[in-house]
Structure 1
C-alpha cells in the first residue's frame, strides 16, 4: 500500500507540472516594442505607422517594417489625441481600429485548477484517514480488530530458556509445551492432551512475561502478546469482537502461542456488576471462554496468561480444558538471585571487587525486576561519579537507594531533631543486635530518605520461608525500640514512630487472628473473609462474635504491651551501648555494618580511631596512585604544576595535616591503652 501511495503521489506531481507549463506557454505574450508617446507622434508624422489600435489609454499598432509597438496616451490629452489620430489616418492612410478590448481569458482547465487542488487535498486526507482506521483485514473501522502484537521467531532477538536465569522447576514444567509444539505427533499417538491454557501466577516483576516469550523462542513459533485491558473498550461488543479476531488470526498461523498479560482485567469473577448481564467485560469473558472451547486439542495453539491476583479470576476460566495448569513463578532464592545478577551484568563493565554471591545474600525477597533495577541504578551512579567500572560499593549504595529512597542531604535539620532521630534509630539498632532471633544490622542512618527521617536496615543472612512466634515477638520489640529510646533518654516521644506503630499493630493482629499464636484463644483463625465485588474488596464479613472480638483486642494489646516492657528493659540494661551508637550517628550520620559493630562493641572513640585510620589509608593510596600517574605521564604533571603554582603550598599544608593526624592517632592509641 505504501508503494502504491508513493506512485500515486509521483503521477500527481507530474500532472501539476504539466498544467503549470501549459499555462505558462499559453499566456506568453508576443514580442513587442515599447514607444514613448513622443516617439509615436514622430513615427506618425514620418508616415511610418500602418495600423493603430486604440483601447482606452493604450495604443498598439504596427510600423511600416512590420514591427509591433505599444504606447500609452497621457491623461492630459484626453479626447484631443483621438481627433488627431482620426485626421492622421485619413491623410496618411493608416488603418485605424477603435474597439473595446475584451479582458484576457485563461484556458478552461486553468480555471478549474483551484477546484482540482481542493479535490486532491480531500482525497489525500480521506485516504490517510482510512489507512489509519483500517484493520489488517481491510475493515472500514478497526474497533473490532485485535491489538495483539506479533513476535515472529525470525524477527529481532530470540529469547530462549538460556536467557532466563533461575526458575529451574518452572522451565522444566514449560518444556512440555515446547516439546508438544515441536513434536506433536508423539503426544497424539499416545492419546495425550496438552493443556490448552497455562496460567502463570506470581508477584509483579518475577519474569512471567519473559518466561512465556522464552517458551515461544524455544519452540520457534509465532508469539502473540496482548494485555487484558486491550480487549475492553467503551463500546459494547468490541471486546468480544477482538477475542474472535485474535483466535481467527492464531488459527491461520498455528502452531503459535497467545500470551494474555494481566488477564484479571478481563477474567474477573462474574456477578451483579453495574452493567448487569450486559456488562462489556462479561461479554468479553464469555467470548474468551467460548473460543477456548472452540479450537481442538491438536490445533497447536497454546494460551499463556499471567496474573498476580488468581483469587479474583472466574472459576469457569480455571476449569480443566481451559486454564487447567497453573505455574507459580515466585521470588528467587539466593542461588537464583546470583544467576540473575550475572545475567543482567553482561552489558555492564563490572569491577573485580564485585561479589555477586554477597549481593545475592543481601537482597532476600528481591524480584528479578528489582535486581535489574539495582544494577541499572549502580550504573547510573557510576556514570555520575565518572567511574569507568561499576564497583561493589556503588552497587551497595544503589541497593540502599532502591530500598530506602534517595538521600536528602540538602534538608536542613535542627540539632534537636537530629538528636531525636539519632536516639530513635539507635534504639532500633541496639535491640536488633541484642535479640538472638533478629537479622543482623546492615546499615543505620539519620540522613532523611524518602518520607523517613532515618532508617535502620536489617538484612537476613539466609532466605526464610516461615516466621516463628518468637521471631515475630522480637520483631515487635525491635519496632518499638525507637519510641522506647526516645522515652528513656529524652523523657519525651515524637511522631517519628508512626510507621513503627502501624507495623506493630499489623504484626500483632496477624499473630492473633491469622496464625493463632495467642495463649488465651483457641487454635482458630479469625481472619476476615473477603467477598469480591466488582473486583474490589468492598465488603468484609466477620466469622466471630463481638465477645471474641473483644478478646482479640485484649490479646493484641497484651502482646504489644509485653513487647514494649521488654524493649524498655533491654535498652535500660544496654543504655551505655545506646549512647555510644547515638553519638556515632550524630558524628558520622551513617554507619555500615562494620562501623556499627565497632561502635556497639568498643564504643564511639574506637570508631573515631578506626575512621581516622581508614581516611589516612585512603589518602596515602590516592597519593600513590597520583605518583604512579605522574611517573607514567611526566609531561602532563609538569604542565599541571606550571598552571597551578599554588600546589606546592597545598602539598606542604597536606603534609602538615598528615603529621598532625599521625600525632593524633598515636595519642588516641596511648589513651585507649591506658583506659
Structure 2
C-alpha cells in the first residue's frame, strides 16, 4: 500500500495523527460501528514554513477525495462569496475536502474577532454537519481564530506543527542534499547543527542558496563553504562584507566569542554548533549558536548556572586577555540576569524571601535583585577561573576564528579533541 505521508521527513508523531484521520475518512463505517465520532475538521497550527500545507496535501491525497481550496487572494468584499461558493462546490461533489489555507489571514482584524469571513466559515461548517465533507485549515496565528470555530463539531481537532527536532533537522537536511547531484564532502552533522531550530522552508532555502553560490562561482560541485556562507546569509543575517577590520579589533571579537565557546564546551561538551566573528545586519560583530540538552533545564540547578557562566564568558575572556572591561556585552548580561531571575524568584533557590508577586513591596524586589547580583558575581568568578585553566584552548579557538572567520561544530570538536590529547 502506498504511503502518502512518505514525503514528510521526520515528524513521526504528527504523521501518526494524520494517518488516523486518513483511516477515519477512508473507513468511516468501521469507526461508526465502534461509536467513534468523525470530526468535521482539523486545524494544522504552526509557524510559517513548518510544512503545514505539505502535510494537508498529503492527507488529501491519501483520501482520494475531491478537494476545494479556499485561500484569500484579495481584500475586496467578494471573499465571503468565495467562501460560500467553495463549500457549495464541496457539497455538490461529496465525498470531498475543503482546504482553508492560511485561515488566520481570512480577516485583517484583531485576534479572536467575529469578522464576517470567520462568521461565513462557521455558518458553512454548520450547514455541512453530517455530510461527507471534511475541512482542513492551516493557521500561523491560532489566536486569530475565534473560539467558536475551534470548538468540537467544527474545527475541534488541533495538531501543532512544531519546528523540526535536532534529529529531524539532520534527516531533512540529508533529504534536500540528496536532491543535489554534485556535492563535495558535505558535513551533514555540522549543517544540521547550524540549522537546528529553523523551519523546513529555511532548511530548503539554505541548501538552494548554497547551490546558487556554487553555480555563480562556476564550481563543479557544491562544497561545505557554500553551505556555511548560505547559512550565514539566510539564517544569521551575516553576509560577506568588504569592510576592512583591523587585526586588533578582530582579535578582540574572536576572544570574546572564543570565551563563550570554551565555557560551553567545558561545561557541556558538544554544545557549540557554530561560532563566527562576522558582522550581522543588526550591526553586531560575532555570534555563537548552541545545541543544549534542554531536558535538564527544569530540574538541574547546575545546568542553569552553566548557562549563566557561558553567557558571561565573553566578558570574562576580554578581561582575562586584554585586562579591560568588555563594552559589547549588553545582550549577554540580559541573558544571564534573566536566567538568574528565574533561579532566584521563580524557584526560590536562594531563599523564600526573594519570591515576588504582583504589587509586592520594593523591599522584596531589592532583596531579589541583590540575590541575582550575587549569583552573577559568583558565576563570573567561576568562569574566569575556568578560562584561565583552559587558556591554551581559548587561544587556539580565537586563533582559528581570526584565520577562518567561522567555525562549525566539527571544527570546534576537532580543536577540542586536539586540546584534550595535548593535556592528557
Which TM-score applies when normalising by structure 1? 0.54
Equivalence for 1:292? 125
Note the C-alpha offset of 1:411: 0.7
Q: Is the 8 A contact 2:48 2:140 kept in 1?
A: yes
Note the C-alpha offset of 1:372: 1.2
Say yes or no: does 1:330 pair with 2:162: yes
Structure number with greater Rg is 1
RMSD over aligned Cα, in angstroms?
A: 3.7
Q: Which runs of 5+ in 1 are unaligned?
A: 1-157, 272-280, 527-541, 608-675
Deviations 1:257-316 (A, max 9, x none): 222233334496557xxxxxxxxx53333332222222122x222111223443554322
Equivalence for 2:309? 477
Alignment CA distance shift 1:365-1:385 (3 Å): same
Match of 2:276 among 439, 445, 453: 445
Alignment CA distance shift 1:379-1:584 (3 Å): closer
Note the C-alpha offset of 1:385: 3.0
Q: Distance in 1 between matches of 2:129 and 2:142?
A: 26
Say yes or no: does 1:423 pair with 2:234: no
Match of 1:316 among 141, 148, 155: 148
Alignment CA distance shift 1:389-1:587 (3 Å): closer
Equivalence for 2:133? 301
Say yes or no: does 1:516 pair with 2:332: no
Equivalence for 1:545? 360
Q: Distance in 2 between matches of 1:398 and 1:433?
A: 25
Note the C-alpha offset of 1:517: 5.9
Match of 1:578 among 394, 400, 406: 394
Q: Distance in 1 between matches of 2:295 and 2:228?
A: 25
Q: Distance in 2 between matches of 1:380 and 1:216?
A: 33
Matches within 5 A, 1:56-67: none
Note the C-alpha offset of 1:410: 1.0
Q: Is the 8 A contact 2:354 2:368 kept in 1?
A: no
Q: Is the 8 A contact 1:469 1:517 kept in 2?
A: no
Alignment CA distance shift 1:216-1:591 (3 Å): closer
Q: Distance in 2 between matches of 1:418 and 1:352?
A: 30
Note the C-alpha offset of 1:569: 2.9
Equivalence for 2:202? 370
Equivalence for 1:251? 91
Match of 1:174 among 1, 4, 18: 18
Alignment CA distance shift 1:362-1:493 (3 Å): same
Say yes or no: does 1:215 pair with 2:59: yes
Matches within 5 A, 1:108-119: none
Q: Is the 8 A contact 1:349 1:388 kept in 2?
A: no
Say yes or no: does 1:198 pair with 2:38: no
Matches within 5 A, 1:145-160: 160=4
Equivalence for 2:179? 347
Note the C-alpha offset of 1:211: 0.3
Deviations 1:415-458 (A, max 9, x none): 442232122122222222332x3544344433434333123344
Deviations 1:109-144 (A, max 9, x none): xxxxxxxxxxxxxxxxxxxxxxxxxxxxxxxxxxxx
Q: Distance in 1 between matches of 2:29 and 2:387?
A: 71
Alignment CA distance shift 1:240-1:518 (3 Å): farther
Q: Distance in 2 between matches of 1:522 and 1:287?
A: 54
Deviations 1:534-561 (A, max 9, x none): xxxxxxxx74524554444344333333
The more displaced of 285-294 and 400-409 is 400-409
Alignment CA distance shift 1:284-1:410 (3 Å): same
Q: Is the 8 A contact 2:193 2:273 kept in 1?
A: no
Q: Which has the higher contact order (CA 8 A, sep 6+)?
A: 2
Say yes or no: does 1:566 pair with 2:406: no
Alignment CA distance shift 1:589-1:218 (3 Å): closer
Q: Distance in 1 between matches of 2:182 and 2:159?
A: 34
Q: Is the 8 A contact 1:159 1:214 kept in 2?
A: no
1:349 is paired with a residue whose SS is coil
Q: Distance in 1 between matches of 2:12 and 2:172?
A: 12
Equivalence for 1:162? 6
Which TM-score applies when normalising by structure 2? 0.81
Q: Is the 8 A contact 2:264 2:310 kept in 1?
A: yes
Match of 2:104 among 248, 259, 264: 264
2:54 is paired with a residue whose SS is helix
Alignment CA distance shift 1:221-1:600 (3 Å): closer
Q: Is the 8 A contact 2:112 2:147 kept in 1?
A: no
Q: Distance in 1 between matches of 2:64 and 2:94?
A: 12
Q: Distance in 1 between matches of 2:295 and 2:229?
A: 27
Alignment CA distance shift 1:209-1:510 (3 Å): farther
Alignment CA distance shift 1:288-1:544 (3 Å): farther
Q: Distance in 2 between matches of 1:572 and 1:357?
A: 31
Q: Distance in 1 between matches of 2:190 and 2:285?
A: 28
Q: Distance in 2 between matches of 1:182 and 1:311?
A: 31
Q: Is the 8 A contact 1:268 1:314 kept in 2?
A: no
Q: Is the 8 A contact 1:200 1:304 kept in 2?
A: yes
Q: Distance in 2 between matches of 1:198 and 1:358?
A: 36
Alignment CA distance shift 1:243-1:502 (3 Å): same
Q: Distance in 2 between matches of 1:188 and 1:469?
A: 51
Q: Distance in 1 between matches of 2:401 and 2:103?
A: 49
Equivalence for 1:653? none
Equivalence for 1:390? 222
Aligned length: 414
Q: Is the 8 A contact 2:67 2:90 kept in 1?
A: no
